[in-house]
A and B are shown apart, each in its own frame.
Chain A
């Protein structure tokens, strides 16, 4: 496949910023978590892209991406548990309404 590395990097950057945009603008906490998943996947895609272009027979890049996927799965489980706990407390998952710690 003869795609230059720059296009893959642009693609990953665009995906990351779409996720960032969602994480900064959405109000629902679950939508924010979905956006964070998109950012995670863009980062993992970059690991694999650099592995594909720069590897010399080693699988280190793939292993790193594998561990990153595992960490992301643990993060999403804990994050969704937090969302459910917050919902039980506030009866809402609107991030604008969670301001008990605001000074």
Chain B
């Protein structure tokens, strides 16, 4: 076992736990940023440098700011959730389902015995160049489909969030 793996995993799980349990939504968002950073650190540890950079740029740079805007546009002034507590009525049911799923997945994962292969040789000479080449050669159709999807999402988000007509 690797001490770095344990430390980064603990920080990531802590961030995730805080993000789903804290009462104040802005604090939730800060914990979520910690979680995103932990995931990016895992990407760096697995030699997926480009993905780590993309994770930081897209999730911390874009998604977290988007969620912050949504919190500021919707919350009441105090920022905390309603007086009845932040959990819904059948919260124990949700926790039970999640705990059951966690147990089953950990039981399955325990039987997996693969050890890491050799390090990826092309890392030193630049994965980014290879990814860029692949994006415009082998993966050009998915790239264009993704462009259409992002445009549709952009237009859809604007239309949905527009002021309703009286």
Using CB atoms and an 8 Å cutoff, list the residues of chain A in contact with chain B: 1-7, 9-11, 13-28, 30-31, 33-35, 37-38, 41, 44-45, 48-49, 51-55, 57, 59, 62-63, 65-67, 69-78, 80-85, 87-89, 93-96
Distance of A59 Cα from B17 Cα, bound (Å):
32
Given contacts A30-B70, A34-B29, A55-B120, contact A9 B112 (CB under 8 A): yes
Contact at A30–B54, with CB atoms within 8 Å? no
**Counting CB contacts under 8 A, is B136 at the interface?**
no
Residues of chain B within 8 A of A93, CB atoms compared: 74-75
Residues of chain A within 8 A of B114, CB atoms compared: 4-6, 53-54
Contact at B58–A78, with CB atoms within 8 Å? no
Given contacts A17-B99, A66-B54, contact A77 B2 (CB under 8 A): no
Residues of chain A within 8 A of B66, CB atoms compared: 76-77, 80
Residues of chain A within 8 A of B130, CB atoms compared: 59
Contact at A27–B17, with CB atoms within 8 Å? no
Minimum CB distance partner of A65 in chain B = B51
A9, A87, A89, most chain B CB atoms within 10 A? A9
**Counting CB contacts under 8 A, is B73 at the interface?**
yes
In the A-B complex, the 8 residue pairs with the closest CB atoms? A24-B94, A22-B20, A13-B105, A9-B109, A21-B98, A74-B153, A81-B157, A17-B102
Q: Is the interface of A mostly helix, strand, loop or mixed?
A: helix
Using CB atoms and an 8 Å cutoff, list the residues of chain B in contact with chain A: 1-2, 4-5, 9, 12-13, 16-17, 19-21, 25, 28-29, 32, 35-36, 39, 42-43, 45-48, 50-51, 54-55, 58-59, 62-63, 66-67, 69-71, 73-75, 81-82, 86-89, 91, 93-95, 97-99, 101-102, 105-106, 108-117, 120-122, 127, 130-131, 134-135, 139, 142, 146, 149-150, 153-154, 156-158, 160-161, 163-164
Q: Out of A28, A41, A52, name the residue touching B36 (CB < 8 Å).
A: A41
Distance of A34 Cα from B135 Cα, bound (Å):
30
In the complex, 27 of the A-B residue pairs with CB atoms within 8 angstroms, ordered by the A residue number, are A1-B4, A3-B5, A4-B113, A9-B108, A9-B109, A11-B13, A13-B106, A15-B13, A16-B105, A18-B13, A25-B91, A26-B88, A30-B67, A31-B86, A38-B20, A52-B116, A53-B116, A62-B127, A69-B59, A73-B62, A75-B153, A77-B153, A78-B153, A82-B160, A84-B161, A93-B74, A96-B89
